[in-house]
Amino acid sequence: MALRLNNVYKVALINFFSSLYFYLPVLTIYYQRRGLNFVQINSLWGIITATIFLAEIPTGVIADKIGRKKSVMMALFLQLIGEIAFIFAQNYLHFILISVIAGLGFAFQSGCIQALVYDSLKEKGKEKEMAKASGVTEAFYQSGHILGALLSTLIVSRLEPGRITWAIILTALSVGVALVISLFIREPNLDYSHPEQSPLKVVKNAVGLIRANASLKRIIWLGVLTTPFVGYLRNFHPPYFLQNNVPPVWLGLSLGAGGILAVIASKNAYKFEASLGVSKAMLTATLIPGIIYLLMALTLGPAVAFLLFTLNFGSMSLQEPLFADYYNRHINSQIRATALSAINMISSAYIALIGLLIGWVADQRLTWAFLLMGGIVILGALTFRINEKHVVVD
């Protein structure tokens, strides 16, 4: 079956199995049982993003040199190693080491996955379908989260240590399946390799493109400053539900319901843009998470808390396919993975630094953290609005 699928659907299947996590709904509880506070918990995501920051450009250059397929395989291999190590982790230092491994894996995957999909479409003259293809891959990614979250209600509902360990083992097995599927990816038949150029020159060309392209810079600033903080939302998920008296069994169900909305949002993002136009679509897609964060700062009871988390988690996937399309329109194949890695590097640095502040604020009062995240997202959405002229490339 994998041999007959095109690259878009192979990537989609990889996204599905590599996102099939069975312990995410109780991850914060797991960390807290190991003695971690919110600053330390958020710092782990900060360490991941800091590692991405340091590794993004080198891994992007490697992807442009050796090909997208090998880079995806390396990313999944590192992810598998991280999950196996997670089974045996006992303290903050162990989690730090695992976060570094995870960051390296994300760095290998972040730029080359989009580049692989776009170049696979481009060689068939279908690059204008990038938003649609990105929606498909994102939908499969969210589907993995949905199934994992729903099954977690059965596997870890009683929060027993042994059950959580089994959830981690099952997650590792799923990542292993994704690694096997990556063996069947077909490298796009495009001349994007450049052995005659040094890595330094590739980086220079990618950075030069970003600096010289005013429209691309504005899109990047919008993407960075309206990042919906999905990792931090997951960290605050259990205490937010506890604060609103939501039963623990609803942790997995809310992630599953949010994932269903995310699939719908990501698959229909290109239709959403076609209906509203670039300006209104992007403003709406970036504003929604910020507004919901402000509402989450209020204590409104179990039902409303469940609804707000579900809507926020689901709506976050509306913007990703659009940003993927807009970035790729401005970047040529020769430096695509490197340029995308440079963009992700900027985003990673921002998320790592702001996450420490958000974690410290959450340790003081969780509602303040939601107000902070909502205010940042809304300010970014209103300050760096884009329109059709920013995404049309001559």
3: pLDDT strictly greater than 50: no
For residue 109, give both structure tokens: 């995957």
For residue 35, give both structure tokens: 């003695």
Look at residue 200 in the predicted model and tell me its pLDDT. Answer: 58
Dump pLDDT digits (tens) for 125-174: 787 777 778 778 877 887 888 888 888 888 876 667 778 889 999 999 99
Look at residue 305 in the predicted model and tell me its pLDDT. Answer: 96
Length, in residues, of the chain: 394
Q: Tell me the residue type at 309.
A: F
- Burial category of 258 from C-beta neighbours within 10 Å (exposed 0-12, middle 13-18, buried 19 and up): buried
Q: Tell me the residue type at 230.
A: V
25: pLDDT strictly greater than 90: no
Q: Taking residues 108-121, report their average pLDDT.
A: 77
Burial 96-115 (b: 16+ CB within 10 A, else e): eebbbbbbbbbbbbbbbbbb
Look at residue 66 in the predicted model and tell me its pLDDT. Answer: 75
245: left (phi over 0), alpha (psi -120 to 50) or beta: left
User: Does residue 246 sit in helix, strand or coil?
Assistant: coil
Q: How confident is the model at residue 365 (pLDDT cuts 50, 70, 90)?
A: very high
User: Does residue 34 sit in helix, strand or coil?
Assistant: coil
1: pLDDT strictly greater than 50: no
For a pLDDT cut of 70, what percent of the chain falls above it?
Answer: 90
What does the alpha-carbon distance between residue 19 and residue 72 come to, in Å, rounded to a whole number? 14
Residues 6+ apart with CB under 8 A from 103: 47, 48, 49, 50, 51, 52, 55
Q: Taking residues 352-359, report their average pLDDT.
A: 87
Look at residue 394 in the predicted model and tell me its pLDDT. Answer: 64
Q: pTM score, two decimals?
A: 0.72
Planar angle of CA 293, 299, 303, nearest 5 degrees: 90
For a pLDDT cut of 90, what percent of the chain falls above it?
Answer: 35
Half-sphere exposure at residue 277, Cβ-oriented, CA atoms within 13 angstroms: 8
CB of 46 closer than 8 Å to CB of 184: no
Pick the residue with more confidence: 208 or 47? Answer: 47
What does the alpha-carbon distance between residue 290 and residue 267 come to, in Å, rounded to a whole number? 22
- Burial category of 191 from C-beta neighbours within 10 Å (exposed 0-12, middle 13-18, buried 19 and up): exposed
Q: Which domains does the chain have, with CATH numbers?
A: 7-188+195-391 (1.20.1250.20)
